[in-house]
Chains A and B, each alone.
Chain A
Amino acid sequence: MNLLNARPMKTGISRRNVLKIGAAATALPLLGSRAFAQKATVKAAFVMIGTPDDNGWNYGHDTGRLYMLDQLGADKVETTVVTNVAEGPDSERVFRELAQQGHDIIFGTSFGFGDYMLKVAPQFPDVKFEWATGYATASNLSIYNAKFHEGRAVIGTIAGMMSKSGIGAYIGSFPVPEVFMGANAFHLAARKQNPNFVTKVVYVDSWYDPPKEADAARALLDQGVDVITQHTDGPAALQVLEEAIKQGKDVIGGFGQGADMSAFAPEAHLTAIIDNWGPYYTKAVKSVLDGTWAEGGFWGGIVDGEVVIGPYNAKIPADVVAAADAVKDGIVAGTYHPFAGPVVDTNGNVQAAEGDIIDDGEFWAAEAWYAEGMEA
């Protein structure tokens, strides 16, 4: 028995029919020989570790999916979302299932899916795989990532200028490259504004433990911190900041992570680093439609519109907005780099000399270190 014939798709046509229609529609262009077939419609799947309504990481990917659908049209693209997939052998099954169901391109939106995508991809050479935040490619597997740390440089600038106590905090999940790069970028940018700025890095050992994230924020506020940014998947810390402001405490605020979180903390939410996967998803799915998809790696940043800085809170002074925009524009123009030297770490090692720039990829592969003035 064949899975593809056994169960009609939601649209009522099997994959085989889809291909037939596709072939007919593009029959003429196909007369010229091409390595890849164009497609009239594409089925794209998104595999997520959580649910799209987490207000953070998965929300970002789902928003990107919707943007892509909007750009390419629902008549061209059909999408499937699989939520709550554990980063282990369970995901291998899901990737295989999706490939067998006739999806043309499958996005694995978390690092831990990689081993299993690399296992499944060779079995389905006609299916394209896309591994978010990954580090290895194959002939039908590409990787994509975002330079979140560029956004951290912008908000670090705001924190450095606005903090009265000169002590900021970075609530991290785990000391993985994405997180410690972000923390360093935040701190280095803040130090450019306030040379004595201190960043306390607190890891809560979870991507997702709202009560603990909130308690970490309370502990930090109680120890002189007045601006907090978090690198976990939710607004718990921002809500603590909002409450502190309501109680009249001398607190500046915090930043949304992954998505605009101002609904949770209208006062405390200064701006947000928004993961904007939409343009990349549009490009990737369109390349499957066009038959031009190719193995590769994409690491987009602010210049690509993949990392977006949200609207500024009205309480941010104009000069701070100007400085933040200057950093943003500098990154786009290539004149500002978050990891431009001189950078000295907490152990006194020179990580980058004056005039040097630490390459993003090099930093990504490095062991964790923290710039001078950070407490981690």
Chain B
Amino acid sequence: MRLRLEKRPSPSQFMLFATPLMAVALTMVIGGFVFTLIGFDGFGAVREIFFTPLMNPLKWQDLAVKATPLVIIAVGLSIGYRANVWNIGAEGQYVLGGLSATGIVLLTQDMSGPWILPLMAVAGIAGGMAWVAVPAWLRTRYKVNEILTTLMLTYVSVNLLNYLVFGPWKSPRAFGQPQTIAFSADQSLPYIIPGTIVQLGAPIAVIIALVAWFVMSRSLFGYQVRTVGAAPYAARHGGFSANQTIWVSLLVGGGLAGLAGMLEAAGPFGRMVPQFPTGYGFTAIIVAFLGRLNPIGILIAGIVLAITFVGGEVAQTTIAFPYPAVGIFQSMMLFFLLAGDVLVRYRVRIGNRASAGDSTSEASA
């Protein structure tokens, strides 16, 4: 007896939507059991991690804040992933976006006006794009694998950040601590819901997801990206340039990561500090997959991931659930989702009966 995969003629739409839900449900059940077995309050943890943040309206604002950068970055990444372009260094592009916006802040220290914030946004996007342009150029010109170059530039970006905040950008009023000056009101995002901490970034994330959904499903560009990713040879026949697709999808991904960095710097952070990179760029990769590389799915997945982060803190404070275990819950969720992926594209047969399935080597995810 063995598992055998039989390719579906087309991806199962039902499984496409069902598997993420199954992954979350399985994580709760199996995670709850496993942690109970090893002596923790496993199901209490499931309650606090997955349900408390949803049930408590006070937590909704936190979810919005936490999900915003995840959604924006993941939407950008998903476009590249659809085209089979693997930018995994969004963290670096996010940092560069934040740094570029901070550069504008320092240049406009003594100025005011509503034009500063849009300028910071443009700078943030440009910063993210510039950082991803290096891997894009290396990939299209020299066929250098972008997975590795984007990842490596992330480490360089963190060092650049440290150099700036410990050196030339250090605030003179920071008591020697590595941080820039605080952003002024004109350099910070406005709050959009009075009495909460929800800033302009949250609606921007929703709009980006909707626009991306429209572009990817309704425009020629979306079709081009999907074709280049799924069938590069057909795409070439159809007149789509692979290099152009690589460039555009990487620049969109880098630009959106840069924008997320700007929104985070001008929003929740309010100044540039060495702690600015918090792993959003990496978590967004998980969000992109959990959301099935679909912008609307990503919007939901971003909120799910945000729930686990916020809930993880709740579980720590209420039932003293250990922090590292939250990471285990998150990785379990992703493992189950990835395992479930197979159900979307294949029927799983058990046994040795011969089938009509053909040898397939899939380039797509």
The reply to whether B275 and A86 form a contact with Cβ atoms under 8 Å apart is yes
Q: Which of A86, A100, A180 contacts B58 (CB 8 A)?
A: A100
Count class of interface residues, chain B: 35 or more
Q: Assign chain A's interface to a size class.
A: 35 or more
* Contact, CB under 8 Å: B52 / A7: yes
Question: Which residue of B268, B276, B309 contacts A92 across the interface (Cβ within 8 Å)?
Answer: B268
Given A83-B323, A88-B273, A135-B175, A1 and B56 contact (CB-CB distance below 8 Å): yes
Contact indicator A45/B317 (Cβ below 8 Å): yes
- Chain A neighbourhood of B240, CB < 8 A: none
> Quick one: closest B residue to A80, CB to CB?
B317
B10 within 8 Å of A by Cβ? no
In-complex Cβ contact of B176 among A1, A96, A365 (8 A):
A365
CA distance A80 to B324 in the complex (A): 17
Asked if A367 lies at the interface with its beta carbon under 8 angstroms from chain B, I say: yes
For A80, what are the chain B residues with a Cβ–Cβ distance below 8 Å?
Answer: 317, 320
Q: A80-B317, A98-B317 are in contact. Are A176 and B268 (CB under 8 A)?
A: no
Query: Cβ of B177 < 8 Å from any Cβ of A?
Result: yes
Kindly state whether residue A112 has any CB partner on chain B within 8 Å: yes
- Please measure, in the bound complex, the distance between the C-alpha atom of A213 and the C-alpha atom of B324, giving whole angstroms: 24
Does A264 interact with chain B (Cβ within 8 Å)? no
Q: Which of A9, A98, A174 contacts B178 (CB 8 A)?
A: A174
Q: How far is the CB of B93 from chain A (nearest CB, A)?
A: 18
Decide if B62 is an interface residue (CB 8 Å cutoff).
yes
The answer for the CA separation of A367 and B172 in the assembled complex, in Å, is 9
- Which residue from chain A places its CB closest to the CB of B270 in the assembled complex? A115
> Which residues of B have CB within 8 Å of A1?
55-57
Residues of chain A from 85 to 99 with CB closer than 8 A to chain B in the complex: 85-90, 92-94, 96-98
Residues facing B in A341-376 (CB within 8 A) are: 364-368
> Can you name the residue of chain B whose Cβ is closest to the Cβ of A93?
B62
Q: Which of A156-198 contact B (CB under 8 A)?
A: 174-177, 180
B145 at the interface (CB under 8 A from A): no
Q: CB within 8 A of A176: which of B177, B267, B319?
A: B177
Residues of B within 8 A of A92 (CB): 197, 268
Residues in A neighbouring B316, C-beta threshold 8 A: 82-83
Other than the given A92-B197, A177-B177, A364-B175, 6 more pairs (CB < 8 A) read A6-B55, A82-B317, A86-B278, A89-B269, A93-B313, A115-B182
- Ranked nearest first, the 6 interchain pairs of A and B with the lowest CB-CB distance are A89-B268, A177-B176, A87-B275, A84-B323, A93-B62, A88-B275
Interface residues of A (CB under 8 A from B): 1, 3, 6-7, 9-10, 45, 51, 80-90, 92-94, 96-98, 100-101, 111-112, 115, 135, 174-177, 180, 205, 364-368
Taking Cβ atoms with an 8 Å cutoff, the residues of B that contact A are: 52, 55-58, 62, 65-66, 162, 166, 175-178, 182, 197, 264, 267-271, 273, 275-276, 278, 309-310, 313-314, 316-320, 323-324
